[in-house]
Amino acid sequence: MGPVWTSSARQSGHRTEGTETSSGSAMFTHTKRLQFEAKPEQPDPVFARKLQELIGGAWGETTVTMQYLFQGWNCRIEGKYKDLIMDIATEEIGHVEMLATMVARLLEGAPATETTRAVQDPVMAAVIGGMDPQQAIVGGGGATLSDSQGVPWNGRYIVASGNLLADFRANVAAEAQGRLQTARLYNMTDDPGVKDMLKFNLARDTYHQNLWLAAIEELKADGVEGTVAPNALLDEEHTEHATSLWNLSEGDESTQGRWAHGTAPDGSHQMGIIPEPRPLGGPADAPAPDPKLFATYDGSKGSPRDPRLTGVKGMVGKLKEGFSD
Taking only the tens place, the pLDDT of each residue in 117-130 is 444 555 445 545 56
In a domain, 181, yes or no: yes
Amino acid at 282: G
* Predicted local confidence at residue 178, as pLDDT: 98
* Predicted local confidence at residue 138, as pLDDT: 73
- Report, as an integer, the average pLDDT of 106-134: 59
Per the annotation, does 250 bind a ligand?
Answer: no
Closest CA to 275 of 295, 301, 254, 297: 254
Per the annotation, does 196 bind a ligand?
Answer: no
* Predicted local confidence at residue 132, as pLDDT: 72
Average pLDDT along the chain: 86
- 131-136-141 Cα angle (round to 5): 100
Cα-Cα-Cα-Cα dihedral of 69, 70, 71, 73, to 10°? 90
Per the annotation, does 92 bind a ligand?
Answer: yes
* Predicted local confidence at residue 6, as pLDDT: 73
* Statement to judge: residues 187 and 124 lie in one domain: yes
* Predicted local confidence at residue 128, as pLDDT: 52
In a domain, 230, yes or no: no
* Statement to judge: residues 27 and 110 lie in one domain: no
Per the annotation, does 238 bind a ligand?
Answer: no
What is the C-alpha separation between 293 and 303, in angstroms, rounded? 14
* Statement to judge: residues 268 and 204 lie in one domain: no
Per the annotation, does 95 bind a ligand?
Answer: yes
Residues 116, 137 contacting (CB under 8 angstroms): yes
In a domain, 40, yes or no: yes
* Predicted local confidence at residue 11, as pLDDT: 47
Closest CA to 158 of 78, 60, 84, 230: 60
From the number of C-beta atoms within 10 Å of its C-beta (0-12, 13-18, 19+), residue 281 rates as: exposed
In a domain, 295, yes or no: no
pLDDT tens-digit map of 29-88: 899 999 999 999 999 999 999 999 999 999 999 999 999 999 999 999 999 999 999 999
Closest CA to 56 of 141, 142, 154: 154
- Report, as an integer, the average pLDDT of 228-232: 92
* CATH assignment at residue 96: 1.20.1260.10
* Statement to judge: residues 270 and 147 lie in one domain: no
| pLDDT score of 250 more than 70 | yes
Per the annotation, does 61 bind a ligand?
Answer: yes
What is the C-alpha separation between 164 and 167, in angstroms, rounded? 5
Per the annotation, does 223 bind a ligand?
Answer: no
Of the two residues 251 and 24, the one the predictor is more confident about is: 251
* Statement to judge: residues 269 and 193 lie in one domain: no
* Predicted local confidence at residue 232, as pLDDT: 93
Of the two residues 269 and 10, the one the predictor is more confident about is: 269
* Statement to judge: residues 46 and 184 lie in one domain: yes
* Statement to judge: residues 62 and 88 lie in one domain: yes
156 contact partners, CB below 8 Å, separation of at least 6: none
* Statement to judge: residues 135 and 48 lie in one domain: yes
In a domain, 284, yes or no: no
* Domain limits for position 1: 1-33
154 contact partners, CB below 8 Å, separation of at least 6: 58
* Predicted local confidence at residue 125, as pLDDT: 55
Work out how many domains the chain is built from and give that number: 3
What is the C-alpha separation between 295 and 35, in angstroms, rounded? 58
- Report, as an integer, the average pLDDT of 258-265: 94
142: confidence class by pLDDT, cuts 50, 70, 90: confident
pLDDT tens-digit map of 151-165: 999 999 999 999 999
Per the annotation, does 218 bind a ligand?
Answer: no
* Statement to judge: residues 135 and 158 lie in one domain: yes
Q: Where are the alpha helices (DSSP H) in 187-270?
A: 192-221
In a domain, 137, yes or no: yes
- Report, as an integer, the average pLDDT of 104-111: 84
Residues 128, 43 contacting (CB under 8 angstroms): no
* Statement to judge: residues 260 and 166 lie in one domain: no
Per the annotation, does 132 bind a ligand?
Answer: no
| pLDDT score of 319 more than 60 | yes
| pLDDT score of 23 more than 70 | no
Per the annotation, does 87 bind a ligand?
Answer: yes
Query: Could you give the percent of the chain with pLDDT greater than 70?
Result: 79
Residues 301, 288 contacting (CB under 8 angstroms): yes
* Statement to judge: residues 76 and 96 lie in one domain: yes
* Predicted local confidence at residue 86, as pLDDT: 97
In a domain, 162, yes or no: yes
